[in-house]
C-alpha cells in the first residue's frame, strides 16, 4: 500500500460519523459481564468448608471410620491410665477386693 492509498483510506474513515453511544452504556456493559460470568461464588468460612467436605459421600465413610478409631484408641489409653493411677496411688484399698478389707480377711483361711 502506498502513501496515497493510505491517505485516501484515512480520509474516508474520518468522514464517517461515529454514532453517539447511549447514556447508560457503562451500566449495560457491566450488566452483560455479570450475566455472562454467571452467579458469583459465595465465600464460606473454614469451618463450613470442612463440614461441607466431610459431608460429601466419598469422605463421609472415611471420616466416620477415623472418628471411631480415634475414640477407641483414646478409650483404651484412658482405661490403662486410670488403672495405672489406682495402683500407683494405692487407691486399690478402696476397691471391693482390697487385700486388707475385713470381709476379705474372713474369707481367707489360714
Domain ranges of the chain: 47-107
| pLDDT of the residue at 102 | 67
CB 54 within 8 A of CB 63: yes
Residues in the chain, overall count: 110
pLDDT value at residue 48: 87
pTM above 0.75, yes or no: no
| Residues 64 and 56 sit within 8 Å (Cβ to Cβ) | no
d(CA 79, CA 85): 10
Distance CA 50, CA 43 (A): 13
The grid coordinates of residue 7 equal 491517505
Residue-by-residue pLDDT tens, the chain, 110 positions? 678 889 998 888 888 888 888 889 999 999 998 888 877 777 788 888 888 887 888 788 888 889 999 999 888 877 767 666 666 666 666 666 666 666 655 655 55
Handedness of CA 56, 59, 65, 66 (dihedral sign): negative
Amino acid at each position: 500500500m502506498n502513501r496515497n492509498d493510505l491517505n485516501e483510506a484515512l480520509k474516508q474513515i474520518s468522514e464517517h460519523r461515529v454514532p453517539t453511544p447511549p447514556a447508560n452504556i457503562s451500566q449495560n456493559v457491566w450488566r452483560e459481564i455479570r450475566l455472562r460470568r454467571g452467579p458469583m461464588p459465595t465465600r464460606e468460612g473454614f469451618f463450613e468448608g470442612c463440614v461441607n467436605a466431610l459431608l460429601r459421600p466419598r469422605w463421609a465413610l472415611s471420616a466416620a471410620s477415623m472418628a471411631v478409631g480415634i475414640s477407641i484408641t483414646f478409650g483404651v489409653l484412658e482405661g490403662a491410665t486410670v488403672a495405672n493411677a489406682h495402683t500407683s496411688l494405692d487407691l486399690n484399698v478402696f476397691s471391693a477386693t482390697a487385700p486388707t478389707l475385713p470381709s476379705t480377711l474372713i474369707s481367707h483361711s489360714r
